[in-house]
């Protein structure tokens, strides 16, 4: 029969993971790593922190067993330890959206007004891809596209979209996707396409959710 001290120690062990994610910047690191491995410099740029601060966050995530590393020459790359880490992040995000009252307001402050932005489900997009009914645009940075993307998607990073509009077929429907349900790139891409007369929707979430659902991907 276990005693109180042993039970406390066990539950404190479980809480190590929660403590590691008890920072918006560390949660954002997990979100970014859902797109593929990154160096500390790349992560620092993504989360708007110094390399020193980002390194501290990475050490805490490694200590909790949430990340693994790979060395390539003098550079170290970071990745999540397993797909379960992203499942945990998805669950945390979903629970927060369902039960934390201000999440909707915070999301609206960041993403802007989503009224009029149509979405498409993963299953519906997979079906329409098979029949060639849509053109899928991956509007994430090119490095993320190279690390993995929806099969058949075209890489058009958001910052390049305006310059490439003239090359897009006028008679096709477009679906834009990016990193996940709280990624602003796809929203902005759909708005830009609509302003230029294209029919466009955004995927309901993003590439990590598509890949974890076992839907077709390419590297």
Strand partners, 78: 38, 69
DSSP annotation of 180: S
For 27, 49, 117, the CA distances from 32, given in Å and listed in that order, are 9, 14, 24
Distance, CA of 195 to CA of 28 (rounded, Å): 31
What radius of gyration do the chain's Cα atoms show? 19
Q: What is the largest CA-CA distance in the chain?
A: 72
178 has catalytic annotation: yes
- Which of 43, 178, 193, 211 is catalytic? The answer is 178
Q: Is 148 exposed, middle or buried (0-12, 13-18, 19+ CB in 10 A)?
A: middle
Q: Give me the sign of the Cα torsion angle 89, 175, 145, 48.
A: negative
Residues with a catalytic annotation lie at 178
């Amino acid at each position: 029969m276990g005693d109180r001290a042993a039970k406390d120690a066990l539950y404190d062990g479980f809480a190590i993971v929660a403590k590691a994610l008890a920072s918006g910047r560390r949660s954002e690191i997990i979100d970014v790593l859902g797109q593929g491995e990154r160096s500390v410099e790349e992560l620092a740029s993504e989360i708007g922190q110094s390399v020193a601060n980002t390194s501290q966050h990475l050490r805490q995530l490694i200590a909790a067993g949430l990340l693994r590393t790979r060395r390539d020459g003098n550079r170290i790359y970071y990745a999540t330890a397993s797909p379960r880490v992203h499942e945990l992040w998805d669950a945390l995000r979903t629970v927060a959206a369902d039960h934390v009252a201000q999440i909707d307001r915070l999301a609206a402050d960041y993403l802007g007004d989503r009224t009029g932005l149509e979405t498409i489900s993963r299953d519906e997009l997979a079906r329409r891809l098979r029949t060639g009914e849509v053109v899928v645009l991956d509007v994430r940075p090119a490095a993320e596209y190279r690390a993995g993307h929806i099969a058949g998607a075209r890489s058009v990073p958001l910052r390049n979209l305006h310059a490439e509009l003239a090359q897009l077929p006028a008679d096709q429907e477009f679906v834009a996707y990016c990193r996940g349900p709280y990624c602003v790139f796809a929203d902005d891409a759909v708005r830009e396409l609509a302003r230029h007369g294209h029919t466009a929707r955004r995927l309901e979430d993003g590439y990590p959710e598509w890949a974890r659902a076992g839907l077709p991907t390419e590297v």
